[in-house]
Amino acid sequence: MNGSTKGPQAALIAENFPTRLCYSGASLGYQLTAIIAGGPAPLVSTWLLKTAGSSAAISLYVIVLGLISLAGTAMLKDRTEAPLE
């Protein structure tokens, strides 16, 4: 990933936790994402390629994961003007 995604991502994650939990909340989010989505991704991709016979199934898998991420982000509250207590 590059700076155009990491910068907004860091701000988005940090502002969704109270100040006293900011580092723990962000770390927990990163670690759980790695376990849930990142860990099995190569296994699922290999299985999809073997089962479907083409990379189109892998593309669909990535699109579905992206839509899940988009839905999760859309459900976050806007905390732009919230105090940083």
Contact 61, 47 (CB under 8 A): no
In Å, the largest CA–CA distance within the chain is 53
State pTM to two decimals. Answer: 0.73
The pLDDT value recorded for residue 25 is: 81
Angle between the N-to-C axes of helices 56-74 and 41-52, in degrees from 0 to 180, rounded to the nearest 10: 140
**85 residues of the chain, pLDDT tens digit each:** 567 777 787 777 778 877 788 788 888 888 888 888 888 999 999 999 999 988 999 999 999 988 998 998 899 888 777 776 6
E strand map for 1-85: none
Rounded Cα gap, residues 55 and 38, in angstroms: 18
- Which residue shows structure tokens 């105090």? 83
